[in-house]
Structure 1
Amino acid sequence: MSTLLYRLARWCFQHRRRVLAVWFVLVIAVIGVAQASGGKTSDTFTIPGTESQRATSVLKKDLPAASGGSTQVVFAAGSDITAARYEKAIDTAVTELGTLPQVATVANPYRAGTVSPDKRIALATVSYMVQAGDVKNSTVDGLGPAVRAARSAGLQVEFSGTVYPKPGNAASPELVGLAVALIILLLTFGSLVCAGMPIVTALFGVVISMMGMTALAAVTDIASAATSVGAMLGISCGIDYALFILSRYRTHLLAGHHPREAAGRAAGTAGSSVVFAALSVVIALCGLAVAGIPFLTTMGLAAAGSVLVALLIALTLLPAAFGFAGPRAARFSRLPVLRRALPATRTAVEGPEKLTGTRWATWVVRHRVAVLVTGVIALGVLALPTAHMDLGLPGAGSRPTSDTSRRAYDLTSEHLGVGYNGTLSVVAENITRTAQAQQIATSLGKVPGVATASVATITHRIALISVVPTTGPNDPATTDLVHHIRDDRTAIEGDSGTRILVGGPTATNIDVSTKLGNALPAFLITVVSLAFILLTFAFRTILVPIKSIIGFLLSVGASFGAEVAVFQWGWFKDVFGIDKSQSLSFLPIIVLAIVFGLSSDYEVFVVSRIKEHFTRHGDARQAVIVGTGQSARVVTAAALIMAAVFASFLFTPDPMIKSIGFSFAVGVLIDAFVVRLTLVPAAMAIAGKRIWYHPRWYGRLVPDPDIEGEQLERHLAQHREPTTV
């Protein structure tokens, strides 16, 4: 593989204008398709086969107006909201809301009886003919103008539900991450040219990936979180992969190689590591399909596509960029702000044995047993809060008060009760008489944990019954209530001859969380097994993959522990601008996939340098010191960049994206600095030469991928190719 990548990089270097033109055309084409498709992501999560989904299917068939998206409009007054002037204004607003495109019905609060007992708020429900993800932007934008009469009358109007106006971000988190990445690259390379190349090439990949997701959203459901995850990985992996190859390219330039030859050698060595690292991430993301959950499968495949694009760009567009930069990539900037970084930068290239990373690796190897024991215990302690993880889908109650849905949530909780934010929709089938539906509602009203239960509508032999819990949508007691109704459905149905299904957004979220929790063990086993095979093939030893997997489990456990402490327990909540809530239900499976893939990245980069030195000199412990020292600087820069990109998403108002970005950032930092640059060298120093053992039959049967470039070096020694451009 190293020889193939060597030749590919030299070809791209030689034909740089052609390669650049192809990528430019691809970017323009994808943007055009995305704009023409009009695709839009969705925040609605459904899982086929669950009871809530069956309830939705029944409603979609017999009562479409109750199966689509909905908006809850909260009207609040400082005095009696039933006063004539307020009632007139709300009636006008309800009429205007009913004229919006795609609106099926609007429930008037005075007729529906959704006025609070203290007469301070009134709730109107807008039901749409389509699912939440299919509601047009023009319809959502029309919600505010439609309630102008109510606001003119002095009423406060807020929106919530599955469809509501969402504020735009004042600053794109991607731009924040890119800015931090540029600073780190400048300090790492001491060169504007070298700092700019990874940023520019990563942007090509991000644009292609994001526009591709937009186009796909026109033909399939793609969760909004998928675009955020794709952007995180597209930027971070794109920069990191370019960083590793660029670092080797610069080393070869300063060693006296011609730029084209340096590009080939960099791709043949670091490029091989990048390929295996990227494949580890892709395998982990594609493994999300094992869970059997459509939105999660789509999210994983979309994110895997972003990583593949980043890989292709690193192997083709980056060598072409080397061709445009030429020898300038080896020059150091004269900017005063970078002068302090130059000594360390020059040392990284000219005297790696003097690096801080080498001194750190020497210390770790000298105290290897104590370091390994202390590190494992520390990460184990950090992982302890994971035992208290409570999975769910954080709702409006965890959003910032600047969000209209949060204000609607607070008003409803204060004046009607928190349960009105998580109303359950119970579908009763085989209804032939109104008395049957009323009997079911009466039985539901007697269930412990139910505040009220009333018949909303009856049509086509089905009845829709609204059940208001006494607890909020994310309260564990509400989850218990849903399970209790389902378990006791026979007693609730009685002799009415009907059949009930519990659905609605709150029940759907509960079902999603349950299904995700059940799918976690199978997913973990599948991904770890596939990655074990890949790493065993890459390093031709069994002990390295086992060590890598144990290290990953320590990293991800500590990441989960930190997430629980911050997002569930509220530690440092003011610092991160969050409110306590449940842990995102699909967070564990997403973090397992991505942190596992990224941890394999650093494992490949560090261990490949160690093996490279061991293959040449045969001294296992010295190889640990030299390999770790040579890779520490670039791994540090890569981890800081990746963590900065992930952490930049903490600036978004969405609590789901905040928790994803936080968990990724913590996982990457712990894995890179504690596990890969500390515990891995300690463990490998303890194992010595035994770490590279494999049976003879394995060496005969399994081909050598030459991840260290040893075969390439032999090939170049035997066949000296011309170095002229």
Structure 2
Amino acid sequence: MAELLYRLGKLSARRAWLVIAAWAVIFALAVGGYLIGSKGLTSSFDIPGTASGAVTDELQEKLPDFGGASGTVVFSTEDGSALTDEQRAGISALIADSGDLEDVSDVIDPFDTEQQRADQAQQLVDGRQQITDGAAQLDASQTQLDAGAAQLEAAQTQLDQARAQAEAAGFPTAQIDAQQQQLDASKAQLDAQQQTLTDGRDELETQTSKLELGARLLDLADGIRFVSEDGSTALVNVAFTEPRLELSEEAKQGVISHFESEPIDGVDVSFSTDIAQGVPQIFGVGEVIGLVIAAIVLLVLLGSVIAAGLPLVTAIVGVGIGVLATLSFSGVVQMASVTPVLGVMLGLAVGIDYSLFIINRHRKQLLQGAEVRESIGLANGTAGNAVIFAGATVIVALLALNVTGVPFLGLMGTAGAVCVAVAVLIAVTLTPALLGLVGERVLAKKPRARAAQARTGSGAAHHARVEKPVKPMSTVRAVVTVLVSIVALLVVAIPSLSMRVGLPDGSSEPEDSASYRAYTLTQDEFGAGTNSTLLVTAQLPSGLDDDQVLEKQVLVAEEIADQEDVVSVAPIAVSDDNELAAFQVIPAEGPNSVSTEQLVRDLRLLPAIDGDIQLGVAGQAAINIDISESLAAVLPLYLAVVVGLSLLIMILVFRSLLVPLIATGGFILSLFATYGAVVAVFQWGWFADVIGLHSTGPILSFLPVILVGILFGLAMDYQLFLASGMREAYVHGAPARLAVMQGFRAGRAVVTAAALIMVSVFGGFIFSEATIIRSIGFGLAFGVLLDAFVVRMLLMPALMHLLGRSAWWIPRWLDRILPNVDVEGAALERRHHV
């Protein structure tokens, strides 16, 4: 590989314009693919096979009107006064005209809904009065019937006495028989009236029972409102025909455009995140500042504007190609909005670093008197070989995200891997081409003169700068460094023990956004739980009639209402076959609160109601909980895969068992310390004001997994550039402890610069408007800072010193079967030494 890269570097330097033209064509193809294939990004996340997904599928089958996505349009008066009749009419007119909106199944008028609820309450009052009046009438009729029955009983007694007397006297009874017939007819008529009265009383009892069931349901739904108590705010619910992951951005924008098309005087309109959550800005001011800092670091290290500019140029070209190529497939696969942002982060960071490694090696060789193209080839074969290995490590770690079984996470890893792969290819082709064009101008004037003297053999100036002799660190210093480093990392990691994961809600949106206004208005006017409405389904027994369904609805609603932190419950639909009922449930707190998470779990763990009614829970809050729990469950698997991969690769590269253990153990320490810092800032709110974070909450659910993949790859990069120099010195005969310091001194400057560049690039994203991007940028920046400066440059050298020669021990049988991986291109350097 080293020899191949050596030849490729020299060829690129000789055919510089051809290489540049080739990359220009590739860039143009990426632009063309983007223009043709890009179809927009989604701000939603989902995982197949979750409990909420099963409930949604069932709703789509039996209650399709409730199986799609939904969102809220919030109308509020500018001065906080009650909406006027004219303003209400304007809102209702917009709702009435919304029938033709794309993928919209229904838009609920809040004023009609409130009126219907008021009418139901009045009907309840009227019904109770009617029942009371009906009962009084039945009682009066019963009194009359009882009096008539008494009269007939008395007449019967008299007739019986008359019959007895007539029979005793031998008189005929024909007249008495006729009277008896009349009396029997009167009794039959009275019995019929009694039956009618009994039937009426039974019907009244049935109506009373239904009325009371309805009253109980109305009481349970008392906390659900669509117009605030002060009348200043109204919630318009928009139901879509498509599930949230399949809902197009055009449909959402259509709703926004419609409700903003006719402004209403004195009324503001805002939209919930389900409708208006924006796609985060891929590149902003913060990222520009990060690049400026990176440019300063490059200028300090390389000492030349031209040399400092080359890594920036190659990185930007690589990011453009990688991100545009990724977006070209957004019309084919569902792509999360954060995917291209992750590509930009990685593409810029590794693109600058990988080019820097080659340029820095080239400059050192020029100062030693090497010819330009020979130096380019040699730098490409040595540092470029290390870049190939380092990039491959990051790529494999990112591609391994696919083993989690989470589609959007696997796609993010694949997109990031593509951007890293492009950065590697550009580093070993375009960087040598540009170096060939600039020639010796990659050096500043004074270094260029020293390089000329070195080539002509006048080495006075070249050898004038003699570095101080390298000495091993003291054992006491090594022990103290190990103890302090480990304790410091463990202390920083403490907050990770209380990590909660979730997905961002409206409270994390930018403060001037429509989504944030909608969220806060809804919370202030209707309660925090209105932002976290749950959709609960109940599977009813088959064969129920409408009256029995009503009884079951009340039974289920009361069971739900008995759960802690439930504010209101309302039945909203029953399937045509009477086998599925849906309920709207308002929790006490917001979608990311501990109580709402616990409520979802409690509802799912409830035993079958009435012996055979099973509940299911869906809704945005439940979906977010399912996604977060699924991602938390795959983290140990992914961490095991990455750690195992780390051990295998490090054993292969360093031909040692203890060095890989040190590298992997250090990575795990820095990873959990990074988790702790992320929790402290984004969950606990420490230093939130410093970065302009206005809202705290659970950690982004897929952030822990993403950090494992990316930080692992970057940690192995720095491990390679430092430990390979130590191994090279040890193999060439230096004592083990001296070799540690020789390798450290050889690689510390470039690793320091590379780490600072990555921290700057990632840190620029901390000031993004999107909380998702903020947390990813912070986690990566802090993780690189810890791993590079604490683990790789303090802890690892100290441990290597304490281990001495045993650090490089490997069983002979394993040493024999392992291939010789010359990552630093030492063999090439011996063949083509300067």
Q: Normalising by structure 2, report the TM-score.
A: 0.79
Q: Distance in 2 between matches of 1:707 and 1:148?
A: 60
Q: Any conservation in 1 of the 2:256–2:271 contact (CA below 8 Å)?
A: no
Give unmatched runs, 5+ long, in structure 2: 115-225, 448-461
Q: Which amino acid is 2:533 matched to?
A: T
1:102 CA drift (Å): 2.8
The aligned counterpart of 2:162 is none
The aligned counterpart of 1:639 is 755
Q: Does 1:617 align with 2:727?
A: no
Q: Distance in 1 between matches of 2:59 and 2:682?
A: 35
Q: Does 1:673 align with 2:810?
A: no
Q: Distance in 2 between matches of 1:660 and 1:63?
A: 39
The aligned counterpart of 1:723 is none
1:352 CA drift (Å): 8.6
Q: Deviations over 1:268-323 (max 9, x none)?
A: 22122212211221222122222221111111111111111111111222112222
- Which of the numbers 497, 513, 519 marks the counterpart of 1:409? 519
The aligned counterpart of 2:154 is none
Q: Distance in 2 between matches of 1:513 and 1:714?
A: 53
- Which of the numbers 395, 405, 426 marks the counterpart of 1:292? 405
Q: Any conservation in 2 of the 1:362–1:625 contact (CA below 8 Å)?
A: yes
The aligned counterpart of 1:341 is none
Q: Any conservation in 2 of the 1:70–1:161 contact (CA below 8 Å)?
A: no
Q: Which amino acid is 1:92 matched to?
A: A
The aligned counterpart of 1:390 is 500
- Which of the numbers 611, 615, 627 marks the counterpart of 1:500? 615
Q: Distance in 1 between matches of 2:375 and 2:345?
A: 30
1:447 CA drift (Å): 2.4
1:631–1:479 CA distance, 2 compared to 1 (3 A) = same
Q: Does 1:574 align with 2:574?
A: no
Where does 1:429-440 land on structure 2 (aligned, <5 Å)?
429=539, 433=546, 435=550, 436-437=552-553, 439-440=555-556
The aligned counterpart of 1:339 is none
Where does 1:462-477 land on structure 2 (aligned, <5 Å)?
462-477=580-595
Q: Distance in 2 between matches of 1:253 and 1:35?
A: 43
Q: Which amino acid is 1:211 matched to?
A: L
Classify the secondary structure of the residue corresponding to 1:47. Answer: coil
The aligned counterpart of 1:196 is 309
Q: Distance in 2 between matches of 1:144 and 1:400?
A: 18
The aligned counterpart of 2:642 is 527
Q: Which amino acid is 1:34 matched to?
A: Y
Q: Distance in 2 between matches of 1:439 and 1:353?
A: 88
1:81–1:674 CA distance, 2 compared to 1 (3 A) = same
Deviates more, 1:415-424 or 1:264-273: 264-273
Q: Distance in 2 between matches of 1:79 and 1:645?
A: 44
Q: Any conservation in 1 of the 2:382–2:829 contact (CA below 8 Å)?
A: no
Q: Does 1:50 align with 2:50?
A: yes
1:60–1:333 CA distance, 2 compared to 1 (3 A) = farther
Q: Distance in 1 between matches of 2:826 and 2:318?
A: 30
Where does 1:195-214 land on structure 2 (aligned, <5 Å)?
195-214=308-327
Where does 1:54-453 land on structure 2 (aligned, <5 Å)?
54-77=54-77, 78=79, 81=82, 83-113=84-114, 114-132=226-244, 134-148=246-260, 151-164=263-276, 166=278, 171-332=284-445, 354=467, 367-429=477-539, 433=546, 435=550, 436-437=552-553, 439-453=555-569
Q: Does 1:653 align with 2:784?
A: no
1:142 CA drift (Å): 4.3
1:438–1:45 CA distance, 2 compared to 1 (3 A) = farther
Q: Any conservation in 2 of the 1:41–1:133 contact (CA below 8 Å)?
A: no
1:407 CA drift (Å): 1.5
Q: Distance in 2 between matches of 1:263 and 1:62?
A: 68
Q: Distance in 2 between matches of 1:633 and 1:236?
A: 17
Q: Distance in 2 between matches of 1:601 and 1:234?
A: 15
Classify the secondary structure of the residue corresponding to 1:703. Answer: coil
Classify the secondary structure of the residue corresponding to 1:163. Answer: helix
1:138–1:353 CA distance, 2 compared to 1 (3 A) = farther
Q: Any conservation in 1 of the 2:472–2:737 contact (CA below 8 Å)?
A: no
- Which of the numbers 478, 481, 484 marks the counterpart of 2:602? 484
Q: Percent identity?
A: 37
Classify the secondary structure of the residue corresponding to 2:582. Answer: strand
1:227–1:350 CA distance, 2 compared to 1 (3 A) = farther
1:692 CA drift (Å): 1.6
Give unmatched runs, 5+ long, in structure 1: 335-348, 721-725
Q: Distance in 1 between matches of 2:598 and 2:587?
A: 11
1:399 CA drift (Å): 2.8
Q: Any conservation in 2 of the 1:140–1:165 contact (CA below 8 Å)?
A: no
Q: Size of the alignment, in residue pairs?
A: 698
Q: Which amino acid is 1:452 matched to?
A: S
Q: Distance in 2 between matches of 1:591 and 1:300?
A: 11
Q: Distance in 1 between matches of 2:234 and 2:33?
A: 44
1:166 CA drift (Å): 3.4
Q: Distance in 2 between matches of 1:219 and 1:175?
A: 31
1:330 CA drift (Å): 2.4
1:131 CA drift (Å): 4.0
Q: Deviations over 1:141-168 (max 9, x none)?
A: 4444433477423122211132216387
1:59 CA drift (Å): 3.0
Q: Distance in 1 between matches of 2:618 and 2:443?
A: 63
1:528 CA drift (Å): 0.7
1:548 CA drift (Å): 0.4
